[in-house]
């Protein structure tokens, strides 16, 4: 799972328009897939750190929580009609 987020980090760095859109975003986000926790740290739109959890010491601004099947469907090029969304806390 964490390798996917490291790949995302490289793709984000290669996409200037996304970096420009996120230039004002500097936060840590918790992504929880089942029991796995991953912390994504963004600084001025750049994904600077991908850290495996769980950690009670890592502060985060918001969380995206889902299960592995829903995430796999979400990452499909075209999810099925009526695809359920993940919860955001």
Cβ-contact 71, 34 below 8 angstroms: no
Please state whether the predicted TM-score (pTM) of the whole model is above 0.85: no
On average, the pLDDT of the chain sits at 88
Whether residue 87 is contained in a domain is answered as no
pLDDT of 84 = 63
- Least Cα distance to 29 among 12, 84, 77 occurs for 12
**Mean pLDDT to the nearest integer, 16-26:** 93
Whether residue 85 is contained in a domain is answered as no
Whether residue 44 is contained in a domain is answered as yes
Domain count within the chain: 1
**CATH number of the domain within which 32 lies:** 3.30.1050.10
Burial class of 69 by CB neighbour count within 10 A (0 to 12, 13 to 18, 19+): exposed
pLDDT tens digits along 45-54: 999 999 999 9
Whether residue 88 is contained in a domain is answered as no
- For residue 47, CA distances in Å to 7, 37, 71, 87 come to 11, 16, 20, 22
Domain span at 12: 2-74
The C-alpha atoms of residue 35 and residue 55 are separated, in whole angstroms, by 12
Whether residue 29 is contained in a domain is answered as yes
């Amino acid at each position: 799972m964490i390798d996917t987020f490291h790949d995302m980090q490289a793709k984000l760095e290669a996409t200037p328009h996304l970096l420009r859109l996120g230039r004002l975003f500097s936060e840590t986000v918790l992504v929880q897939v089942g029991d796995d926790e991953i912390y994504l740290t963004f600084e001025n739109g750049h994904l600077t750190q991908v850290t495996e959890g769980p950690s009670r010491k890592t502060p985060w601004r918001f969380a995206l929580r889902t299960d592995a099947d829903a995430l796999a469907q979400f990452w499909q090029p075209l999810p099925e009609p009526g695809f359920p969304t993940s919860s955001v806390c």
